[in-house]
Structure 1
């Protein structure tokens, strides 16, 4: 791919991210004004649609999202794969939950209005969960083993731009991906379409030369699905030796460090520990 075409693709991806609006209605209105405060935590779930998950892993994604649907938290569900094949990055849904009302403000509000507000707040997380559930189903239904390329590096750089713009106190990124680059920059597959034992230093040099380093602005990063192949979702798992997976993990550890992110766990394929809320 020519570099100019690549930059155009990056611009399209960033534009697709920036055009999305808040999908969760606020419980505050003109009668109940709220102060503008930074989000406590913002969660970015990025799903690689070239990675097929089994039912257990799909459920794991939902289970790790649910605890973060708390007051004054935000979320975005993003899909990506290979923009050269019409699979542009897309925000499926994004939103935020309202902060709690100050005690002093509650004391100045009539009981009927306060009861209506409390009822709305109690249902807000449930509504956000329904939006996320629909977005996840759409994202997973759109996954395919027929996608020939997977622009993981380019997609992560674009996602990092959205993460960097967040003003949340805590930023969390959940990457649902095999983390196997397969683009004009490099391929982490061998000829038999199994995972190639990469040279982390060599691959990092290629990423830097291609200007693929992002800026996750201190976000904590979790990966579900590392090293998965198309056959894995059908339970016909291919063997991946520990040294191959160690090299893959080492590359991404360095990549996220250079991209100002903290790789907390590299699920191969599942997370061993739940995502921390803060």
Structure 2
């Protein structure tokens, strides 16, 4: 079974999930030399105020799949607002050991090498199961009835996960409508029925005045779900003024730039290119 299909199946199945920050069993053994350092880390951040269609859920799974590979680390975090039983939470995280160089493998005895290879072969499936269960839990906890969406404050807190990563490459996938709705600012119009045409410079001053910029440690950032409204999940046709979406994109591009990150693609709502 393809890993993206396995991820989606686990997302939609009845499997339970509990927070697990070591979801992949390490193959490191005292008899083995140290593995090479983590090459890439993916942080998936899911806004539980943004319901996704099955197609967008599949898109998330498809973009997680390539990162469940040797030498990579992944994390799944959810957020919404500090209200109604919802809060920022790390659901799962795991590291897949990097492959040892061939010259190093030649120095390892055959029994130990067989044991190592069997362990390494199990890691991608362990990662897929952990990531899939976490995504399912995130989607099950999603609701359009959550009154607020503290995106600024949540991202500032969550950014520390990726900032502290020793990985050579850092990638953040944010699954959110990117519509702040808090005591700081409100990006909605018409009582949540449409997107407000924000003034990027004004909103950035608000973020800075409230000390809500983050530090993503130089990560590349992608967004899935920008501009989605509650009714979109049930296929209501809500029009998005291109100028409104351009302003929203411009604001978040500047926000990430000032938060030590690069916004690579702003999916409105889907990504046109895979994560890199």
| Aligned equivalent of 1:244 | 244
Task: Quote the Cα distance in structure 1 between the aligned partners of 2:103 and 2:274.
Answer: 36
Look up the SS of the partner of 1:265 in the other structure.
strand
Look up the SS of the partner of 2:245 in the other structure.
helix
Aligned counterparts, 1:115-126, within 5 A: 115-126=114-125
Task: Quote the Cα distance in structure 1 between the aligned partners of 2:84 and 2:207.
Answer: 21
User: Contact 2:162–2:217 at 8 Å: present in 1 too?
Assistant: yes
* 1:136-175 Cα shifts (integer Å, max 9, x gaps): 0111011001101000001111111221111110000000
| Aligned equivalent of 2:111 | 112
Look up the SS of the partner of 1:145 in the other structure.
coil
Residue 222 in 1 paired to residue 222 in 2?
yes
Aligned counterparts, 1:1-278, within 5 A: 21-35=21-35, 37-193=36-192, 194-276=194-276
Task: Quote the Cα distance in structure 1 between the aligned partners of 2:20 and 2:219.
Answer: 21
Q: By how many angstroms is 1:105 displaced? A: 2.9
Look up the SS of the partner of 1:27 in the other structure.
coil
Q: By how many angstroms is 1:69 displaced? A: 1.2
Task: Quote the Cα distance in structure 2 between the aligned partners of 1:118 and 1:38.
Answer: 18
* 1:154-211 Cα shifts (integer Å, max 9, x gaps): 1111111221111110000000000000000000011331111111111111000000
Look up the SS of the partner of 1:236 in the other structure.
coil
- Measured on the aligned residues, the alpha-carbon RMSD in Å equals 1.3
Task: Quote the Cα distance in structure 1 between the aligned partners of 2:272 and 2:73.
Answer: 24
Look up the SS of the partner of 2:195 in the other structure.
coil
Gaps of 5+ in 1: 1-18
User: Contact 2:200–2:247 at 8 Å: present in 1 too?
Assistant: yes
User: Contact 2:37–2:98 at 8 Å: present in 1 too?
Assistant: no
| Aligned equivalent of 1:16 | none
Look up the SS of the partner of 1:47 in the other structure.
strand
Q: By how many angstroms is 1:117 displaced? A: 1.1
Look up the SS of the partner of 1:254 in the other structure.
helix
Task: Quote the Cα distance in structure 1 between the aligned partners of 2:143 and 2:135.
Answer: 15
Look up the SS of the partner of 2:64 in the other structure.
helix
User: Contact 2:21–2:94 at 8 Å: present in 1 too?
Assistant: yes
Where has structure 1 moved over 3 Å in runs of 4 or more? none
Task: Quote the Cα distance in structure 2 between the aligned partners of 1:29 and 1:232.
Answer: 50
User: Contact 2:51–2:233 at 8 Å: present in 1 too?
Assistant: yes
Gaps of 5+ in 2: 1-18
